[in-house]
Homo-oligomer: A and B are copies of this chain.
Amino acid sequence: MKKHNYSAGPCILPQEVFDKSAQAILNFNDSGLSILEISHRSKDFVAVMDEARSLALELLGLEGKGYKALFLAGGASLEFLMVPYNLMKEGGKAAYLDSGTWANGAIKEAKFFGETVVVASSKEENYNNIPKGYSVPADADYFHCTSNNTIFGTQMKEFPSLDMPIVCDMSSDIFSRVLDFSKFDIIYAGAQKNMGPAGTTLVIVKEEILGKSGRTIPSILDYEKHIKAESMYNTPAVFPVYASLLTLQWLKKLGGVAAVEKLNNAKAELLYNEIDRNPLFKGAAAVEDRSNMNATFLLNDAAHTETFDTMWKAAGISGIPGHRSVGGYRASMYNAMPIESVQVLVDVMKALEKAI
């Protein structure tokens, strides 16, 4: 039976990424060697890394604008640490928007370095909305936000304009919608949503903001060292970077970020319309902040849980139970999910309505 994979991440990727990466494990570039056994310094892999770095910038419209792309290890959680190490001055301060669990994790790490101002938080409302109407201290060294909150199903639709570097964790919606990415000075994203499998993290840095914190930075955490080494300061995660390149190539062929955004809007509209129409369901997030990547919703009557769960499982759907912090359901509709899979879920929701 066809599977409809709604996993929040690691998540669905294009079938051609599976096919091509499986082939590369058996025989990479017709070399007679596996992608798993070649040196990261080999010509073939250096070409992979170079193309992945430049394609990431191209897809975001950031080529020739003073940015460098890096594929680092350690996940977005390591960036929580690297960002203040590289940007927060000794005795300086940073401003953070607290819009969810991961934003909160970033705040905790920043506090190791210095004054960390939380400009606004929706924690008291269990992060069911994006805080708005906040002001950012003019003397902050940088402003940090999280564009999409996977757990709660909220997404920032607008970003502030500020006279300081803006850092954004885009782990769960990068490459899914058109933004003026040149508003940001650092963008980082764990690969395991729209970019590839788990195991590598894309970090995009505007070079001119670096080298100003006055801190001595351990080598492995220093963006300047990684840039100088062309993202090969130490052995990169060869296979995850290769599979990410395949995913970015797929996106480019599809027409890029603008083309996939239209598909993502159509998928989100289809599902949210049903959540709002169907009397059995309600959305979990504030309507104006709803994420096009992760739709969180609940049954109005928990007594229907078992019936609904049996029905979606029978339809080949997996990965939609909600995170324990929200409960209910979470349908993650990343770039590679076809609208046909969303239709299957909507049909199950309609069938539930008829059945009871």
The answer to whether A9 and B39 touch (CB under 8 A), given A18-B34, A198-B239, A238-B199, is yes
Q: Which B residues touch A146, using CB under 8 A?
A: none
A153 close to B (CB within 8 Å): no
| A105 beta carbon closer than 8 Å to chain B | yes
* CA–CA, A160 and B21, complex, Å: 45
A194 vs B101: C-alpha distance in the bound complex, in angstroms?
37
Q: A300: CB under 8 A from chain B?
A: no
Contact partners of A216 in chain B: CB under 8 A: 112
List A residues 25-83 near B (Cβ within 8 Å): 25-26, 31-34, 36-40, 42, 73-78, 80-81
The distance in angstroms between the C-alpha atoms of A335 and B52, with both chains bound, is 31
| Residue in B12, B37, B200 whose beta carbon sits within 8 Å of that of A199 in the complex | B200
Across-interface contacts of A17 in B (CB, < 8 A)? 36
Please report whether the interface of chain A is mostly helix, strand, loop or mixed according to DSSP: loop
Residues from chain B with Cβ under 8 Å of A38 in the complex: 7, 10
* Cross-chain contact B13 with A220 (CB below 8 angstroms): no
B residues in contact with A80, CB < 8 Å: 220
* Chain B: minimal CB distance from A220 (Å): 5
- Give the residue of B8, B22, B39, B108 whose beta carbon is less than 8 angstroms from that of A39: B8
Complex-state Cα separation, A22 to B219, whole angstroms: 35
